[in-house]
């Protein structure tokens, strides 16, 4: 087996384990046994359990990012719906990687920062699409304050989101992302027959409806 194939094998084994167990409860020996390799080989390829964990989180984030970036069409509610449809489909087809990414903030500051940065990136893209589509939030700050302006704690009441987006709109977008994550996680946990009756498109329609309702308050 060539090195790249062995690295991919180790990554898959780690992804499966970390999707089921907290970071602290998975050892290099556990990953080695699942991958059918020796523990020193994992250290050779990835350096440490920590580096391996961060690599699998980054791989999942990169795959989702690439899929969302390939969505066709101009910024619109339809493209937002298509994004949720892709996201749910990715979660269904790559369950272990998706769950590992969502649980990435547990037990390691670097992992939490990686996951939070990815969520901020998704939120920023949605906010940019809203701006491009001509949505002008009534709570926008004309000074264009960003979450970073609020200090280490991020946005606070009275601060604004990226590019002058109002704080209520920013919260609506972050709430939308949390809502989608919760829906998808509960969907994946359903019994197979129940899960198969719900498609990614159905999840996207429900999420889009909820987000549209939130925007009518944030952007009257």
Residue ranges making up the domain that contains 96: 57-218
What is the DSSP-derived secondary structure letter of residue 152?
T
pLDDT, tens only, 83-92: 999 999 999 9
**Per the domain annotation, does 26 fall within a domain?**
no
The predicted structure's pLDDT at residue 28: 95
List the CATH number of the domain containing 80. Answer: 1.10.357
How far apart CA 185 and CA 92 sit, in angstroms, is 10
**Per the domain annotation, does 211 fall within a domain?**
yes
| pLDDT reading at 42 higher than 60 | yes
**Per the domain annotation, does 150 fall within a domain?**
yes
Q: What percent of the chain has pLDDT over 70?
A: 82
The predicted structure's pLDDT at residue 220: 63
**Per the domain annotation, does 17 fall within a domain?**
no
**3-class secondary structure per residue, 22-36:** CHHHCCHHHHHHHHC
The mean per-residue pLDDT over the stretch 206-212 comes to 91
**Per the domain annotation, does 9 fall within a domain?**
no
The mean per-residue pLDDT over the stretch 97-108 comes to 75
**Per the domain annotation, does 41 fall within a domain?**
no
**Per the domain annotation, does 37 fall within a domain?**
no
Nearest to 100 by CA among 56, 63, 144, 141: 56
How far apart CA 65 and CA 100 sit, in angstroms, is 16
As for how many domains the chain has, the answer is: 1
Rounded to two decimals, what is the model's pTM? 0.77
When pLDDT is cut at 50, 70 and 90, the band that residue 135 belongs to is low
Measure Cα distances from 136 to 26, 142, 157 in Å.
47, 11, 19
| pLDDT reading at 80 higher than 60 | yes
Comparing 92 with 107, the larger pLDDT belongs to 92
Question: According to DSSP H, which parts of the chain are helical?
Answer: 3-18, 28-35, 39-46, 49-69, 77-93, 95-102, 109-132, 167-189, 192-196, 200-218
- Lowest-pLDDT range of 43-52, 90-99, 147-156, 201-210: 147-156
Instruction: Give the DSSP letter string of 105-143.
Output: TSS-HHHHHHHHHHHHHHHHHHHHHHHHTT---TT--TT
| pLDDT reading at 9 higher than 90 | yes
**Per the domain annotation, does 77 fall within a domain?**
yes
The mean per-residue pLDDT over the stretch 137-150 comes to 43
Measure Cα distances from 102 to 16, 41, 163, 187 in Å.
13, 27, 27, 14
The predicted structure's pLDDT at residue 107: 65
């Amino acid at each position: 087996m060539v090195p790249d194939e062995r690295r991919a094998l180790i990554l898959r084994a780690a992804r499966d384990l970390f999707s089921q167990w907290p970071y602290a409860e998975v050892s290099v020996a556990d990953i080695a046994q699942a991958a059918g390799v020796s523990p020193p080989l994992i250290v050779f390829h990835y350096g440490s359990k920590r580096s391996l964990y961060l690599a699998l989180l980054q791989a999942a984030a990169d795959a989702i990012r690439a899929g969302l970036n390939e969505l066709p069409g101009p910024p619109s509610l339809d493209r937002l719906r298509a994004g949720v449809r892709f996201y749910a489909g990715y979660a269904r087809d790559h369950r272990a990687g998706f769950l590992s990414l969502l649980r990435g903030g547990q037990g390691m500051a670097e992992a939490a920062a990686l996951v939070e940065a990815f969520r901020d990136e998704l939120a920023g893209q949605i906010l940019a699409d809203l701006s491009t589509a001509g949505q002008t939030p009534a709570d926008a700050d004309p000074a264009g304050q960003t979450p970073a302006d609020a200090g280490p704690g991020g946005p606070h009441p009275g601060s604004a989101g990226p590019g002058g987006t109002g704080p209520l709109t920013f919260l609506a977008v972050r709430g939308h992302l949390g809502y989608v994550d919760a829906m998808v996680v509960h969907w994946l946990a359903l019994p197979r027959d129940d899960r198969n009756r719900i498609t990614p498109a159905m999840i996207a329609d429900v999420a889009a409806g909820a987000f549209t309702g939130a925007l009518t308050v944030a952007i009257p």
